[in-house]
Amino acid sequence: MKVGAQVRKKVWDKAKVLGENESIVKTLGNDEKSTVLPSDLLFIPFDCTPELGMGCDELGGRMDGRRRYEEHNKLHQMQASRARLFKEYKEVQREKVADPDIQLVCDDSNIFKWTALIKGPSETPYEGGVFQLAFSVPEQYPLQPPQVRFLTKIFHPNVHFKTGEICLDILKNAWSPAWTLQSVCRAIIALMAHPEPDSPLNCDSGNLLRSGDVRGFQSMAKMYTRLAAMPKKG
């Protein structure tokens, strides 16, 4: 059976869209060979073409196989992520005494949800305050970073005042699987002590520091620490 030029062009156009190369051939009939879609592309539900020697039943089977493969990979990644988080949970229990400035807690029903209480670093406007963080850990962790935000209001150039979003490179493009939730907390404490006003999420805070008004910045940061982060007495 010969493959017409129109069918061959249709197949190759789909291959080019997905960035594939013309490296896979399939024998059709006697000695004639013609470019066909690589195996991954056979999962694309384009029109079933008898001229390609592949009917709808075969295409459907390949699609089902691809879905099963993707589900298997997803399950494997989630299991690896859970194993890593269980390991970190055990380490957190051991480090409670060694690192009293950080208290990490895993959600009872979801190991991908964590909260942390961190103490404001000394000799900063946040000293004496206790700040709560929320961690949302992706199923691809530790290949992808956790999403972390402040639940406690804080006046800081690199923290969005309303949402608590944190501008920190290790939570974005500088992430490495070597980081843990505990070490992320330490990095956030370090950021509290050493703000970066040139990349602000809180423009009011950043502008105070960029203009040299350190006293004004510290006054505002201390006020919000007293209002939102100081442990209640009584």
Q: What is the dihedral of CA 13, 14, 18, 20, to 10 degrees?
A: -70
Q: What is 117-179 written as a DSSP string?
A: EEEPPTTSTTTT-EEEEEEE--TTTTTSPPEEEESS----TTB-TTT-BB--GGGTTT--TT-
Active site residues: 167
Separation between Cα atoms, residue 81 and residue 111, nearest integer Å: 10
Paired tokens of 14:
């789909």
CA torsion, ordered 211, 214, 216, 217, to nearest 10 deg: 100
Paired with 106 in beta bridges are 114
Burial class (CB in 10 A: 0-12, 13-18, 19+), 150: buried
* Residue 15 CB neighbour total at 10 angstroms: 21
